Amino acid sequence: MRKLAVALGAAALITLAVVAAVLRTSGPSTASASSHREAPLISEDPSADNTDLYAFRSPDKPDTLTIISNFIPGEDPAAGPNYYTFSPTARYDIYVDRNGDGKPDVSYYFQFQRKTGPFFLGDTVQPYTVTKVEHGKATVVAHASTPPDNIGPRSTPNYHALAMKAIAPLQGGGQVFAGQRDDPFFADVGDIFDLLAIRKGTGDMGGGKDFLAGYAVHTIALQIPISQVDTASHAIGVWSAADRRQASVHGKGQGAWVQVSRLGNPLINEVVIPTGEKDLWNRLAPWQDSRFVKYYKTPILAAVINKLYKLGAPETNRDDLVQVLLTGIPKVTFTGSTPADELRINLSTPVTPADEASRLGVLGGDNQGWPNGRRLNDDVVDIAEQAVGGFLLGKKLPLGDGVNSGDTKPMSSFPYVADPFSGADDTHGEQK
Ligand SMILES: [Ca+2]
Ligand SMILES: [Ca+2]
Ligand SMILES: [Ca+2]
Ligand SMILES: [Ca+2]
């Protein structure tokens, strides 16, 4: 790893800068973001590509946990007539680990159908089932339908009301939503992949461009009573994945499910895992993450920051990153000694009122927010850059990408993620 970092000389930097410049002109559909198109194989299968995962105590219902898992990167709302849908041949998964072993104790599986549309149009309303597996027992806990994609005022009038009608109850308590939403992730993608090129100062002074503005994703949102997943320490881990079936060689029956994408903490496969292992990482489960610990201990991102800005970010022995990202913050999100990439959250941390929340979460003196869960407004790019810069070791560098919030405001109630822009509006990544 160290060798690799040193080998990243000026020529490599220039090459990457050129790549970033190309990305900048072509928009998020070809660019990368939190976990949008981050690995070679999954970038060929966008409908099964996890983009971002969020987990937070619901601000309006603090006795519930909301988990939001987004898929399908860079949806241009105007991309008809076969608009974006969940894949009917994929299985979308949300996993909860209650005992810190990197294996699921409660699993939710989402499977969607696709209907034939009228005229030359696709029908984007998708019936789906939610299956909960716990103690080896599978129960269907919801039959529901997505709203249509936000096509325009003639096809999908009163879009907000249409979308809200698609919220469905979960058997046993809680609710569920699945369908197109605005991508809540915000980042100056061009800059990040220009090796943290920063448009202004060291990055925490604004001036960035949100490359996800105007683009949508497909959201799966679950809201469940905390009592169903709580533990003695109140710390749990969450991750999400997508599976496809293996081909059946006998031509009958169905092959086994194979995981093709996963996501726990933001930006892991993106900037921690080296390119040659990104496809492997997507196929493995959190309990298998010990093989990747070395990349957290000696993060290439720190080497790159130093190369570019000579900021003296610690490049080796980063047990602080191993702790925060793989086993949890001591006394807050610690789930045990098994290194596992999970989005950890302490379910007893009180909800921070919206006007007191910091976009920098725990790094900004707010007890909620990534890496204690992740809220829609958390500025994970700035948090990640500052953490890699050595924040937890006392080296507080004002790093960031200059984009401090998204182009839409989260809703105050479930499913919280804002309505997508309509295809007819055709915003194409314009700044709002
Ligand atoms: Ca991904
Ligand atoms: Ca477990
Ligand atoms: Ca957005
Ligand atoms: Ca930012």
Ligand closest to the CA atom of residue 102: 2
| Ligand that comes closest to the CA of residue 398 | 4
Reading the block at residue 98, the tokens are 């209650």
Give the ligand at the shortest distance from the Cα of 40. Answer: 1
Per residue in 78-115, pLDDT tens? 887 888 999 999 999 999 999 999 999 999 999 999 98
Amino acid identity, residue 406? Answer: G
Task: Calculate how far, in angstroms, residue 28's C-alpha sits from the geometric centre of ligand 3.
Answer: 11
For the CA of 49, the nearest ligand: 1
Residue count of the chain: 432
Q: Which ligand is nearest to the CA of 213?
A: 3
- Dist. CA 432 → ligand 2 center (Å): 42
- Identify the pLDDT of residue 35: 84
CA triple 191-401-283, angle to 5 deg: 70
* Gap from CA of 81 to ligand 4 centroid (Å): 34
Cα of 93 vs centre of ligand 2, distance in Å, is 15
Tell me the per-residue pLDDT of 287-307, one tens digit each, with 9 for 90 and over: 999 999 999 999 998 998 888
Torsion of CA 85, 275, 391, 337, to 10 degrees: 90
Pick the closest to residue 108 from 155, 67, 157 (CA basis).
67
Nearest Cα neighbor of 99 from 280, 288, 338, 322 is 338
pTM here?
0.90
**Cα 179 to the center of its chain, rounded Å:** 16
Rounded to whole angstroms, the Cα distance separating 266 from 239 reads 11
Burial call 179-191: b when 16+ CB within 10 Å, e when fewer: bbbbbbbbbbbbb
CA of 362 to the centre of ligand 3 (A): 23
Q: How far is the CA of 341 from the centre of ligand 2 (A)?
A: 13
Which residue bears the tokens 């490359």? 211
Angle, CA of 140, 417 and 350, to the nearest 5° = 85
Ligand nearest to the CA of 401: 4
Please tell me the number of the ligand nearest to residue 404's CA: 4
Find the 145 Cα to ligand 4 centroid distance in Å: 34
* Four-point Cα dihedral 30, 32, 36, 38, nearest 10: 110
- CB-proximal residues (5 Å) to ion ligand 3: 182-183, 406-407
Cα dist from 397 to 9, 109, 190, 208, 353, whole Å: 23, 41, 21, 18, 27
**Could you list which residues have their CB under 5 Å from ion ligand 1?**
35, 38, 49-50
User: Which residues are near ligand 4, the ion (C-beta closer than 5 Å)?
Assistant: 379, 381-382, 400-401, 403
Cα 223 to middle of ligand 1, angstroms: 23
CA of 264 to the centre of ligand 2 (A): 14
Distance CA 177, CA 219 (A): 8
Which residue shows structure tokens 């998204």? 406
Ligand 2 centre to CA of 56 (Å) is 19
Reference 217, options 92, 121, 84; nearest CA is 84
Distance 385 CA to ligand 2 centre (A): 30
In the chain (432 residues long), the average pLDDT of successive 10-residue segments reads 31 31 35 73 94 98 98 90 92 98 98 84 90 98 97 92 98 98 89 56 70 94 98 98 84 84 95 94 98 96 86 94 96 97 98 95 95 97 92 89 92 97 74 50
Centroid of chain to Cα 200: 26
State the chain's maximal CA–CA distance in angstroms: 62
Terminal-residue alpha carbon distance, the chain: 40
Evaluate the omega torsion of the peptide bond into residue 314 and state whether it is cis, within 30 degrees of 0: no
User: Considering only CA atoms, which of 278, 301, 98 is closest in space to residue 193?
Assistant: 301
Give CA–CA dist 25/9, Å, rounded: 25
How far is residue 196's CA from residue 57's CA, in Å, rounded to a whole number? Answer: 32
Relative to the alpha carbon of 237, which ligand is closest?
Answer: 2
The values of phi and psi at residue 404, to 5°, are -100, -10
- How close is the Cα of 200 to the center of ligand 3, in Å? 22
The rounded Å distance from CA 87 to ligand 2 centre is 28
- Cα of 31 vs centre of ligand 1, distance in Å, is 12
Find the 268 Cα to ligand 1 centroid distance in Å. Answer: 10
